[in-house]
């Protein structure tokens, strides 16, 4: 019988594709965070103020505070979706947030 040779894998091409995908995901995340800053009005803060607030939030371990922030974030997104959605689509809880969306980012960071 004739031996069947497998096609060798191109590890360099696969690695490059993975790096490109990671770069694309990082770019999308940065863009969505920027959109979130603008949507919340936090772009009116100085860079120092915004960074200080984010550092304080990230360092907070009190679950009650984090839950309160998460609830406030949910209310923010629900009120935005009600304002922007047509009457037939005003139930924001009926469709799950897409991974990496601004909504899932806010829900993910505030509820930990």
In a domain, 105, yes or no: yes
Domain span at residue 100? 30-110
pLDDT of residue 101 exceeding 90: no
pTM above 0.85, yes or no: no
| Cα separation, 78 vs 72, whole angstroms | 10
Instruction: Determine, yes or no, domain membership for 104.
Output: yes
User: Which of 2-11, 41-50, 63-72 has the lowest average pLDDT?
Assistant: 2-11
**pLDDT tops 50 at residue 90:** no
Residue 22 lies in a domain: no
The angle subtended at Cα 29 by Cα 107 and Cα 78, nearest 5°, is 35
- For 42, which DSSP code? G
């Amino acid at each position: 019988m004739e031996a069947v040779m497998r096609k060798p894998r191109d590890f360099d091409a696969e690695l490059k594709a993975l790096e490109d995908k990671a770069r694309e995901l990082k770019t999308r995340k940065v863009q969505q965070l920027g959109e979130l800053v603008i949507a919340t009005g936090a772009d009116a803060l100085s860079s120092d103020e915004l960074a200080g607030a984010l550092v304080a939030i990230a360092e907070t371990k009190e679950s009650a505070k984090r839950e309160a922030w998460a609830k406030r974030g949910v209310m923010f997104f629900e009120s935005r979706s009600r304002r922007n959605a047509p009457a037939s689509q005003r139930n924001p809880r009926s469709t799950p947030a897409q991974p990496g969306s601004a909504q899932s980012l806010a829900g993910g960071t505030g509820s930990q």
